């Protein structure tokens, strides 16, 4: 059984003005998602600025997300780093915190070979009993996990259950599903490709859009699963202009500004990320107004 089906929010990490994590706001955001049909919380992912958090902060976020969801929806912890021993340490801490699953990105900066990816994920899988979703995002990491590598890991390691695919390469995604005979728990890592991924047997999306439009992100998936393909496609296409503005600058710069516009004071991104530029603030706000948020 997959960890979740539908829309998992790649939730932002809210900060106070002094830059510390705003845990009361995180609780408020998790309640917002539980009340608006989000199907899972993904904590400390890319959108949660994991690269700018200390290990202590990440572990505190894992524990807080488990506490605040109180079993209402699954919690998936981002525990990937570019050093295997470090990712193992965070993975063990996340399991101890009580999360339901793990999202583990491919190593970045130092990167590795395809054989190195197999060794990396194999080592991680041996240190946890939790289900693992691998995360392929070449635009961030400079490393693409091939379809053959992804399928090998999913087919041979019991607790590696699937992949968040953000390569944008639909042909590669189709090959993963063919090589795993459709058994991979596949999630779209791109909000503009939810329906195409679902059409290949996907289980849903790990979404930036869901931060500000949780019900719609859920409904794109739910409508598809219930056979209302026209409504699913209608919602997907309607969201495209907004999605474009949510990625007009490096994620999560725009979505943090969007959260401010809908009334959540989540603070600014941590350096080296900065505030959304004035020229894009208007474009984002116009897109949100046009969308109806």
Indicate which residue of 68, 121, 135, 152 is catalytic.
Answer: 135
Tokens of 293: 């948020």
Q: What are phi and psi of 183, to 5 degrees?
A: -90, -10
Indicate which residue of 63, 164, 256, 257 is catalytic.
Answer: 164
Residues 6+ away with beta carbon under 8 Å from 157: 121, 122, 125
Catalytic status, residue 164: yes
Alpha carbons 97 and 200: distance in angstroms, whole number: 34
Q: Within 13 A of 126's CA, how many CA atoms are on the CB side? A: 8
Q: What are phi and psi of 112, to 5 degrees?
A: -175, -175
Alpha carbons 144 and 106: distance in angstroms, whole number: 8
Alpha carbons 130 and 93: distance in angstroms, whole number: 12
Residues 6+ away with beta carbon under 8 Å from 227: none
Helix (H, G, I), strand (E, B) or coil at 95: helix
Annotated catalytic residues are 135, 164
């Amino acid at each position: 059984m997959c960890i979740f089906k539908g829309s998992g929010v790649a939730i932002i990490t809210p900060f106070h003005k002094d830059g510390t994590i705003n845990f009361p706001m995180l609780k408020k955001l998790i309640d917002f998602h539980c009340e608006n049909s989000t199907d899972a919380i993904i904590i400390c992912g890319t959108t949660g600025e994991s690269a700018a958090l200390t290990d202590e902060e990440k572990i505190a976020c894992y524990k807080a997300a488990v506490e605040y969801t109180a079993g209402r929806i699954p919690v998936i912890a981002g525990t990937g780093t570019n050093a295997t021993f470090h990712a193992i340490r965070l993975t063990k801490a996340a399991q101890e915190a009580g999360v339901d699953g793990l999202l583990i990105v491919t190593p970045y900066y130092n990167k590795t070979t395809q054989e190195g990816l197999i060794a990396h994920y194999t080592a991680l899988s041996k240190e946890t009993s939790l289900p693992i979703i691998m995360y392929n995002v070449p635009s961030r990491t400079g490393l693409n996990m091939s379809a053959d590598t992804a399928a090998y890991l999913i087919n041979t390691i019991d607790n590696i259950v699937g992949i968040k695919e953000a390569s944008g390469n639909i042909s590669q995604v189709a090959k993963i599903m063919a090589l795993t005979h459709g058994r991979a728990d596949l999630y779209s890592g791109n909000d503009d490709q939810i329906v195409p991924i679902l059409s290949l047997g996907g289980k849903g999306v790990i979404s930036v859009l869901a931060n500000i439009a949780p019900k719609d992100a859920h409904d794109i998936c739910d409508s598809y699963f219930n056979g209302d393909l026209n409504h699913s496609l209608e919602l997907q296409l309607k969201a495209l202009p907004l999605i474009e503005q949510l990625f007009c600058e490096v994620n999560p710069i725009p979505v943090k500004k969007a959260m401010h516009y809908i009334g959540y004071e989540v603070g600014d991104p941590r350096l080296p990320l900065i505030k959304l530029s004035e020229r894009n603030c208007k474009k984002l706000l116009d897109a949100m107004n046009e969308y109806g948020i």
